[in-house]
Amino acid sequence: MKILITYSSKTGNTEKIAKAIHKAVPNANLLPISEIIDLNYDLIFIGGWIDRATFDQTSLTLAKQIFDKNVAYFFTLGAYPHSEHAKDCVNNIETLLKNNNNNIFGGYFCQGAIDPKLISWLSTLPLDHKMAPSEERRQRWDDAKSHPNQIDLENATQFGLNIISKYQ
């Protein structure tokens, strides 16, 4: 069985999750998306960070090229994992993968630290802008700084084990 774990990671969060999944599936090829040569795999774990309620551009481009495969997905996001935004992300990613006739075995996601450059830029927005930093938003940014934490990584490893047990 040929397995790929691939990811795009801007700040290192998603790479940490990919490596945690790899602990559960050590026989898989673990590659950043930029190093993929082909998609000739029996099972593909695809991961990315969230941008505008879906995968980042690198992960999105790859996901659009995956057809008729067994897949699992993972991502990190600055929002809380139980938020409506996280639900939208799951829906958007699953819709994309299903539209390409893929068999989705599951997904995993957790909060991840936000790129400090993005926080800096958001902090310059006028207070009436929908993305301007509110007290609630600043609290979420602070909460995200500690993720992915050890529990998130352990959950990612367990996710990998669960996917493999479903696949076999």
Assess whether 19 and 65 both reside in one domain: yes
The reported pLDDT for the residue numbered 98 is 98
* H or E, element range at 55: strand 54-55
**What's the pTM?**
0.94
Residue type, 24: A
Q: Which residue, 86, 84, 43, is CA-closest to 66?
A: 43
State the Cα–Cα distance between residues 104 and 151, nearest whole angstrom. Answer: 24
Q: Which residue, 106, 29, 39, is CA-closest to 68?
A: 39
Cα–Cα distances in angstroms (integers) from residue 40 to residues 1, 30, 34, 167, in the given order = 11, 14, 16, 17
Assess whether 122 and 160 both reside in one domain: no
Assess whether 23 and 77 both reside in one domain: yes
Q: Output the tens digit of pLDDT for each of the chain's 168 residues.
A: 999 999 999 999 999 999 999 999 999 999 999 999 999 999 999 999 999 999 999 999 999 999 999 999 999 999 999 999 999 999 999 999 999 999 999 999 999 999 889 889 988 888 888 888 888 888 999 999 999 999 999 999 999 999 999 987
The reported pLDDT for the residue numbered 37 is 95
| Domain span at 137 | 114-146
